[in-house]
Amino acid sequence: MNKKYFLYILTNWNNKVMYIDITNNLQRRVYEHKEKLIDGFTKKYNVNKLVYFEMYEDIKECIEREKN
């Protein structure tokens, strides 16, 4: 079974704030951000618009890309 990992970038309504993270379920994670179910940076700054993502099968590769 090949697991998928996603690097994703979110921004706010006026594209002034960016947030980069990784997840293994992109659809669920974006929903959590949009519904403000996660306390912290994205909720505080209303960061919930998906603007970019990349898919990986290797979690280490995904983490390394996030660091870049």
- Report pTM: 0.92
DSSP H or E segment with residue 42:
helix 41-44
HSE (side-chain half, CA atoms, 13 Å) at 11: 8
Q: Over 80: is that where the pLDDT of 64 sits?
A: yes
Q: Which residues pair with 22 in a beta bridge?
A: 7
Q: Over 80: is that where the pLDDT of 63 sits?
A: yes
Q: What is the pLDDT of residue 1?
A: 66
For the stretch 2-58, pLDDT in tens is: 899 999 999 999 999 999 999 999 999 999 999 999 899 999 999 999 999 999 999
